[in-house]
Amino acid sequence: MSKDILSARNDFPILSSQVNGFPLVYLDNAATTQKPQSVIDAISNYYSTINSNIHRGNHTLAIQATDAYENVRKKVATYINAASPDEIIFTRGTTESINLVAYSFGEAFVKPGDEIIVTQLEHHSNYVPWQLMCQRKGASFKVVPFDENGDLDLEILADMLSEKTRLLAVNHISNSLGTINPVEKIVRMAHAAGVPVLVDAAQAVQHTLHDVQVIDADFYVFSGHKMFAPMGIGVLYAKEKWLEALPPFISGGNMIDQVTPEKITFNVLPFKFEAGTSNVADVVGLGAALDYINSFDFQAIQAYEEDLLDFGEELLSTIPGLKIYGNPKRRSAILPFNIEGIQHFDLGILLDTKGIAVRTGQHCTQPIMDALRIPGTVRASLALYNTREDLEQLAHGIERIIRRIRS
């Protein structure tokens, strides 16, 4: 039987704490989510009972640690519906996953005169690695703009796709505006032009559709820490044909088959892309986080978060002088706004004095802020443990600040 979402808050010990003498209202989930006790316990139990290096030892602890690690690979494959666990590569996070693909794909398939397409909605992590790769390889860097509502202009994308296009990189959900991009449609468009697609799912994999076979992405990347798992662990999913074709990104132990002065051969998938000592404890934590998410009905999570987002939009829109940015066809879990006459950074500090945690700034999306002609926003972002009371506290906090400043 699935857990009741309204009970989720009790599973996160930090949410019962106080900040600056006030109960914590945590609304910075797009940056990182808090961790349930089950994830904390899984990491502690790993270090307390089976800590060992993996894949290399034949003693009991090494075998148990290897089994724990590889079992999580299977859980990830099931969660995103990969065709095989061998298509799951563990990385340090979304940023490393994208850099791995940008480096390896660029080395193998990009030459002078080719083109890479990204979008104006991207986090710097899905923008800069492609820009740098284009500079290295002599390729052209193309950017799909978004419209006045915060939706990508797919007609422009269709015109940009050509025989010169080697790859399209797009996020599923914008970390700044919350725009849910129609990635299935975008992937179909790109594939019809013979172009592979990388989908940045860092903001999506815990909130919305994450079936990679339905999306049909060639590459699909995300971070554990945005879905209740520890920091420092992430996932690169790639279709097996690409993993076989790409050269390794990092070399060293575990990714080697044979080494001689004359020749190097690489290990089988997925180990070809997992050089060095693995972050076993945090992989175990990722597995516990997936178990936690799976203890709920995922459609119920989506419905709850959509209701919470609608409530928050309606509540904030009643505050005089508050502007919410973007009006996309579909938005997820993110409320970006500013208050007329109050600098976003100052508002974040003042809210923190009341125990309300939001994010301020450009959110690693300067192209978005430049397009909006603003220096940054205040961003309130939601997770399944947030409540209407959290949003009411945010609104009351903003109203108190406005009264104090304007009195």
Give the mean pLDDT of 277-304. Answer: 97
Nearest to 379, CA basis, from 162, 131, 123, 167: 123
Q: Residue 11: which residues within 8 A CB-CB, separation 6 or more?
A: 36, 37, 38, 292, 385
C-alpha atoms less than 13 angstroms from C-alpha of 261 in its C-beta half-sphere: 0
CATH topology of domain 41-294: Aspartate Aminotransferase; domain 2 (3.40.640)
The values of phi and psi at residue 244, to 5°, are: -70, -35
> 407 pLDDT exceeds 80?
no
Kind of pairing between the strands at 219-223 and 377-381: unpaired
Q: What is the pLDDT of residues 195-204, one digit of tens each?
A: 999 999 999 9
Task: List the beta bridge partners of residue 118.
Answer: 143
What is the structure's pLDDT at 405? 87
Q: What is the pLDDT of residues 150-184, one digit of tens each?
A: 999 999 999 999 999 999 999 999 999 999 999 99
The one-character DSSP state at 146 is B
- 170 contacts 186 by C-beta, under 8 angstroms: yes
How many Å separate Cα 363 from the centre of its chain?
13
Kind of pairing between the strands at 197-200 and 140-144: unpaired
CA pair distance 363, 377, nearest whole angstrom: 8
Residues of the chain with CATH 3.90.1150.10: 5-30+297-406
Which one from 231, 350, 364, 369 is the annotated catalytic residue? 364
> 186 pLDDT exceeds 90?
yes
CA pair distance 352, 112, nearest whole angstrom: 49
C-alpha atoms less than 13 angstroms from C-alpha of 382 in its C-beta half-sphere: 30
CA pair distance 188, 168, nearest whole angstrom: 12
> 35 pLDDT exceeds 80?
yes
Kind of pairing between the strands at 25-26 and 356-357: parallel
Q: Coil, strand or helix: which one is 366? A: helix
The pLDDT-based confidence of 72 (bands split at 50, 70, 90) is very high
What is the structure's pLDDT at 49? 98
What is the structure's pLDDT at 360? 98
Q: What is the CATH number of domain 5-30+297-406?
A: 3.90.1150.10
Give the mean pLDDT of 19-39. Answer: 98
Q: What is the pLDDT of residues 227-269, one digit of tens each?
A: 999 999 999 999 999 999 999 999 988 888 898 999 998 889 9
Q: What is the pLDDT of residues 352-382, one digit of tens each?
A: 999 999 999 999 999 999 999 999 999 999 9
Q: Residue 149: which residues within 8 A CB-CB, separation 6 or more?
A: 326, 327, 328, 329
Active site residue 134: no
Task: List the beta bridge partners of residue 323.
Answer: 338
What is the structure's pLDDT at 373? 97
Task: List the beta bridge partners of residue 173.
Answer: 180
Higher pLDDT, residue 2 or 74 = 74
What is the structure's pLDDT at 255? 85
The reported pTM is: 0.96
Residues of the chain with CATH 3.40.640.10: 41-294
Task: List the beta bridge partners of residue 337.
Answer: 324, 378
**What's the start-to-end Cα distance of the chain, in Å?**
53
